Amino acid sequence: MTGFALHIDWTRCDGRGLCAEILDRALTRDDWGYPVSLRGEEGSRSDVPLRADEFDAAADAVALCPVLALSRVAR
């Protein structure tokens, strides 16, 4: 295991953008408000790699997501 990723459940996400505000170095928003990874890794649309210094912010984003679309997963 090399760390964690932020998993986005696209069946729940409605583009409110709170996660992109909290994790502004890992995510941005598209024209409709949905999160987009800034990491540019293959397959990172649903699983955005997190750096160690982002673990606490990711936990906050997961806890604060109003539609429960986020989770942290081991990578």
Q: Across-strand partners of 39?
A: none
User: How many CB atoms neighbour CB 31 within 10 A?
Assistant: 7
Dist CA 25 CA 38 (whole Å)? 7
CATH for 4-74 is 3.30.70.20
pTM of whole model > 0.85?
yes
Among 35, 70, 37, smallest CA distance to 51 is for 37
State residue 75's pLDDT score: 84
State the pLDDT at residue 62: 98
d(CA 48, CA 66): 19
Predicted local distance difference test score (pLDDT) of residue 63: 98
Tell me the average confidence (pLDDT) per consecutive run of 10 residues in the chain, 75 residues long: 87 96 96 90 79 96 98 93
- Which pLDDT does position 56 carry in this prediction? 96
